[in-house]
């Protein structure tokens, strides 16, 4: 298992807007550079890209959950 971390503190979002599907669903495979979510910091949105590849992503963080910098967003195999 490897961890995908948030580089920023803020609010984590799993999709680009409330009416859009999540960038990744639990169980999806992830390639380097894939967007796995957004973190909103002081009203500006930053894409979170996977820095490593893996299979079977499991999110450790819910949509709209507050996160600190370094928080585990998801794990991949």
Partner 1 sequence: MLKKLLVANRGEIAVRILRAAKDLGIATVAVYSDADRDSLHVQIADEAVHIGPPAAKKSYLNVAAILRAADEVGADAVHPGYGFLAENADFADACAAAGLTFVGPSGDAIRTMGDKVSARSAAHAAGVPVVPGSLGRVDLDQGRHVLMDTGFPVMIKAAAGGGGRGIRIASDLAEFEAAFPQAAAEALAAFGDGGLYMEKVIGRARHIEVQVLGDGTDAVHCFERECSLQRRRQKVWEEAPSQALSERVREELCSSAVRLARAVGYSGAGTVEYLYDDAADRFYFIEMNTRIQVEHPVTEMITGIDLVAEGLRIAGGEALRLRQRHIVVRGHAIEVRLNAEDPSRDFAPFPGTVTDLRVPGGPGVRFESMLYAGYTVPPFYDSLLAKLVVHAETREAAIMRLVRALKETRIDGLKTTKPLFLALADDPVVQAGDVHTRWLEGWLETHAVRLVPDLEP
Tokens encoding 60: 């450790």
| Residue 10 interacts with partner 1 (CB under 8 A): yes or no | yes
Alpha-carbon Rg for the chain, nearest whole angstrom, is: 11
Contact 29, 55 (CB under 8 A): yes
| Residue 29 interacts with partner 1 (CB under 8 A): yes or no | no
Tokens encoding 63: 């949509």
Enumerate residues 38-57 that contact partner 1 by CB under 8 A: 40-44
Q: Which stretch in 19-27, 34-42, 50-58 sits in contact with partner 1 by CB under 8 A?
A: 34-42
Contacting positions for partner 1 (CB under 8 A): 8-11, 40-44, 64, 66
């Amino acid at each position: 298992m490897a961890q995908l971390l948030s580089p920023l503190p803020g609010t984590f979002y799993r999709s680009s807007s409330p009416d859009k599907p999540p960038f990744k669903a639990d169980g999806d495979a992830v390639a380097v550079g894939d967007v796995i979510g957004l973190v909103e910091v002081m009203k500006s949105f930053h894409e979170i890209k996977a820095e490593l590849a893996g299979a079977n992503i499991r999110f450790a963080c819910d949509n709209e959950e507050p996160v600190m910098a370094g928080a585990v967003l998801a794990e991949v195999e």
